[in-house]
Amino acid sequence: MQLKTFKQFILSLFAFFTVFSINVLKVKAAIITPPIKAKGAIVIDEKTGQILASKNADKRYPIASISKLLIAYLVEKRIKENKISLNTKVKVPSGIVAISQETTITNVPLSVTRSYTIKELLEDALLPSGNGAAIALGAAITGSVSKTETAMEKLLSSWNIKGVKIYSPAGLTNGEMGTYKDKSASNDAENKLSAKELAEVSRHLMLDFPSIRKITDKSSAVVSSTSGSSYTIENTNQLLKNIKSPYKFTGIKTGSAESIGGNFIGETRIKGQKVITVVLGSGSMSDESTRFIQTVSMLSQLNKASSIKKIAKSEGSAKLIAAAGKNGKVKTINSYRYSLFVPKKKTSLVYSSIKVKKNISYPLSKGKMIGYDEVKTSSNLANDFLYGKYLSVKVDSNERVKETNFIVRAWRQLFFSKSFQIN
Q: Which helix (H) or strand (E) holds 198?
A: helix 195-208
For residue 188, what pLDDT is reported?
Answer: 96
Least confident interval from 87-101, 155-169, 394-408: 394-408
pLDDT in tens, 115-142: 999 999 999 999 999 999 999 999 999 9
Between 123 and 229, where is the model more confident?
123
Residue type, 283: G
Between 320 and 407, where is the model more confident?
407
**d(C-alpha 223, C-alpha 227), whole Å:** 11
Q: Which of 233, 234, 239, 297 is nearest to 264 (CA)?
A: 239
pLDDT in tens, 145-194: 999 999 999 999 999 999 999 999 999 999 999 999 999 999 999 999 99
DSSP character at residue 320? E
Least confident interval from 70-74, 138-142, 291-295, 327-331: 327-331
171 Cβ contact partners less than 8 Å away, ≥ 6 residues apart:
63, 64, 65, 66, 67, 68, 131, 134, 190, 191, 255, 257
For residue 308, what pLDDT is reported?
Answer: 87
281 Cβ contact partners less than 8 Å away, ≥ 6 residues apart:
38, 39, 40, 61, 260, 261, 262, 263
For 373-398, give the DSSP string. Answer: EEEEBS-SSS-SBTTBSEEEEEEEES
202 Cβ contact partners less than 8 Å away, ≥ 6 residues apart:
69, 252, 265, 267, 276, 278
Q: Is the pLDDT of residue 272 over 80?
A: yes
For residue 383, what pLDDT is reported?
Answer: 59
Q: Is the pLDDT of residue 73 over 90?
A: yes
- Provide the β-strand partners of residue 421: 320
**d(C-alpha 23, C-alpha 85), whole Å:** 47
Percent of residues in the chain assigned helix, strand, coil, to nearest 5? 30, 25, 40
pLDDT in tens, 21-54: 444 444 556 788 999 999 999 999 999 899 999 9
Q: Which of 30, 343, 379, 344 is nearest to 199 (CA)?
A: 30
